[in-house]
């Protein structure tokens, strides 16, 4: 059964309880004020892989992924003193309403995840449509002594009322320092590490509450939505490594304080993605969108394959070279699968299947799984029909659409201009045993996109 690295326990743990047929998974969704870059999208591959691996074990998944369309402020660690919201900020830049901005980028996010073959979640609640859940939860936390309201209508969570704060990230309350880099931290807080559940404001996108008009803090959204759509017992909570603190620490405190027990059983986090050796950020100018990949003539699923080359909790450095290599592998595998499909079907190669499944069950070891596929591709002792069935069986988890070329009419390949002359010249060079010229001509053909293979019967090309 699937084992994943639990950030809180710092060890691998089996994530399916004995006899369970359904696993409930919550993942922190996008803040819809801009396009998601490929680094953002890596985080959403994690719950998709978990779902697909569990399906191999006949275990269903109920996934909830929220949409943050309000409340995620300019500074992620604190409610910004100015009350500036990222969605409102972008709306002002683009001259559109906040709702138009949120829906536009939400649709763009869904197109990107669809292009990467990520299965849609069962629940995708929006923050703006679940404000009543947040207000109800905040009221309950105040009643239980875990939160307090200020005179202006702002509400803060009392961090010291939750003794096990810090178990996910290791950031204990007694070691936390005030956020000196932020001007205007509310001096009325009882403790500097308390965080806002509700912020008093009369700006756009605010709501009336028993405490006054305002908007929700970022962290309360996930607590309210996860409890509403998945219940008080959630098997797995995923997210990027950067969300461990403060977001997931605050979310865990709110949820547990609300219901009186641990809500999430396993916390699973993915690592950062670098591009050309640097963190992907607008300020460094190396943000790469999925649309950029497609504009370069690459299949968007080449991104998925490139991400699978590293385990989800390993830092990864993506480059255009690795994306181009993944695109070539993807196209080759589809061609091979289409060729094997023309042979009689044969049973799945059990040894390869079992090795790949064992790797996936071992903390989603996708690099080993891909190595197994490459070995299978080269194993000429297996009949083509067996390799065909095994590739497609494993593609149910990998999600690379390896059967996409099956059923398409086979078109005879056509040499590019000058290719025929180079092939003829190379054949003559080999007859004359001029191996240097033969190698040079092979390189020239490769530059035209023509792959040459030497066989006992002579050279062949594709």
Q: Yes or no: say if 237 and 249 are a contact pair by the CB < 8 Å rule.
A: no
Pairwise pLDDT comparison (129 vs 187), residue with the higher score: 129
Task: Indicate if the pLDDT at residue 321 is higher than 70.
Answer: yes
427-453 pLDDT tens trace: 898 889 888 898 899 888 888 888 887
The average pLDDT across 411-438 equals: 82
Instruction: Choose among 341, 332, 351: nearest CA to 383.
Output: 341
The average pLDDT across 146-155 equals: 96
Confidence of residue 310 (pLDDT cuts 50, 70, 90): very high
The average pLDDT across 306-316 equals: 97
- Looking at every residue in the chain, the average pLDDT score rounds to 90
User: Is 0.95 topped by the overall pTM?
Assistant: no
Confidence of residue 177 (pLDDT cuts 50, 70, 90): confident
Residue tagged 């591009």 (tokens): 275
Output the known binding site.
28, 222, 247, 251, 282
Residue 181: partners with Cβ closer than 8 Å, 6 or more residues away: none
Residue 412's pLDDT is 52
DSSP state at residue 68: B
Residue 286's pLDDT is 83
Pairwise pLDDT comparison (218 vs 190), residue with the higher score: 190
- The region, left, alpha or beta by phi > 0 then psi within -120 to 50, assigned to residue 189 is beta
Lowest mean pLDDT among 58-62, 220-224, 442-446: 442-446
| Percent of the chain residues topping a pLDDT of 90 | 72
Q: How far is Cα 226 from Cα 243, in angstroms, rounded to an integer?
A: 16
| Percent of the chain residues topping a pLDDT of 70 | 93
Q: How far is Cα 194 from Cα 171, in angstroms, rounded to an integer?
A: 14
Output the known binding site for ATP.
282
Confidence of residue 180 (pLDDT cuts 50, 70, 90): very low
Confidence of residue 182 (pLDDT cuts 50, 70, 90): very low
Residue 75's pLDDT is 42
The average pLDDT across 197-222 equals: 91
Task: Indicate if the pLDDT at residue 411 is higher than 70.
Answer: no
Residue tagged 């300020």 (tokens): 283
Q: Yes or no: say if 31 and 243 are a contact pair by the CB < 8 Å rule.
A: no
Residue 78's pLDDT is 43
Output the known binding site for Zn(2+).
28, 222, 247, 251
Residue tagged 């950020």 (tokens): 281
- Ordered domains of the chain (ranges, CATH): 3-270 (3.40.50.620), 298-398 (no CATH), 419-461 (no CATH)
Tokens of 322: 């690795």
Integer-rounded Cα radius of gyration of the chain: 27
Confidence of residue 77 (pLDDT cuts 50, 70, 90): very low
DSSP state at residue 284: G
Tokens of 283: 């300020």
Confidence of residue 409 (pLDDT cuts 50, 70, 90): low
Lowest mean pLDDT among 5-19, 95-109, 221-235, 274-288: 274-288
């Amino acid at each position: 059964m699937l084992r994943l690295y639990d950030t809180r326990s710092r060890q691998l743990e089996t994530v399916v309880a004995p006899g369970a047929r359904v696993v409930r998974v919550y993942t922190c969704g996008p803040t819809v004020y801009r396009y998601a870059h490929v680094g953002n999208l890596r985080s959403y591959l994690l719950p998709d892989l978990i779902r697909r691996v569990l399906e191999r074990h006949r275990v269903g998944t109920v996934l909830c992924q929220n949409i943050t369309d309000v409340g995620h402020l300019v500074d992620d660690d604190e409610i910004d003193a100015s009350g500036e919201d990222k969605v409102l900020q972008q709306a002002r830049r683009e001259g559109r309403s906040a709702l138009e901005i949120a829906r536009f980028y939400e649709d763009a996010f869904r197109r990107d995840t669809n292009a990467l073959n990520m299965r849609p979640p069962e629940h995708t609640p929006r923050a703006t449509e679940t404000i009543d859940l947040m207000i109800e939860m905040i009221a309950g936390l105040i009643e239980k002594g875990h939160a307090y309201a200020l005179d202006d209508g702002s509400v803060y969570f009392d961090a010291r009322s939750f003794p096990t704060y810090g178990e996910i990230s290791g950031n204990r309350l007694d070691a936390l320092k005030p956020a000196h880099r932020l001007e205007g931290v509310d001096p009325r807080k009882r403790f500097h590490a308390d965080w806002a559940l509700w912020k008093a404001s009369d700006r756009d996108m605010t709501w009336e509450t028993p405490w006054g008009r305002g908007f929700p803090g970022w962290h309360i959204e996930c607590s309210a939505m996860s409890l509403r759509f998945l219940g008080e017992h959630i098997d797995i909570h995923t997210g990027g490594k950067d969300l461990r603190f403060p977001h997931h620490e605050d979310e865990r405190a709110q949820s547990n304080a609300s219901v009186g027990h641990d809500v999430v059983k396993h916390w699973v986090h993915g690592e950062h993605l670098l591009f050309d050796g640097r963190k992907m950020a607008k300020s460094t100018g190396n943000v790469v969108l999925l649309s950029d990949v497609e504009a370069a003539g690459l299949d968007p699923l080449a991104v998925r394959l490139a991400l699978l080359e590293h385990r989800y909790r390993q830092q990864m450095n993506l480059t255009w070279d690795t994306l181009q290599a993944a695109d070539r592998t993807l196209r080759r595998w589809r061609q091979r699968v289409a060729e094997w499909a023309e042979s009689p079907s044969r049973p799945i190669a059990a040894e390869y299947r079992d090795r790949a499944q064992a790797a996936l069950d071992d903390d989603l070891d996708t690099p080993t799984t891909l190595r197994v596929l490459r070995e299978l591709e080269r194993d000429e002792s297996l009949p083509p029909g067996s390799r065909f069935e095994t590739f497609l069986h494993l593609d149910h988890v990998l999600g690379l659409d390896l059967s996409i070329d099956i059923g398409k009419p086979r078109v005879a390949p056509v040499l590019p201009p000058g290719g025929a002359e180079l092939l003829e010249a190379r054949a003559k060079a080999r007859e004359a045993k001029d191996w240097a010229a033969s190698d040079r001509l092979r390189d020239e053909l490769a530059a035209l996109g023509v792959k040459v293979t030497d066989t006992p019967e002579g050279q062949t090309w594709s």
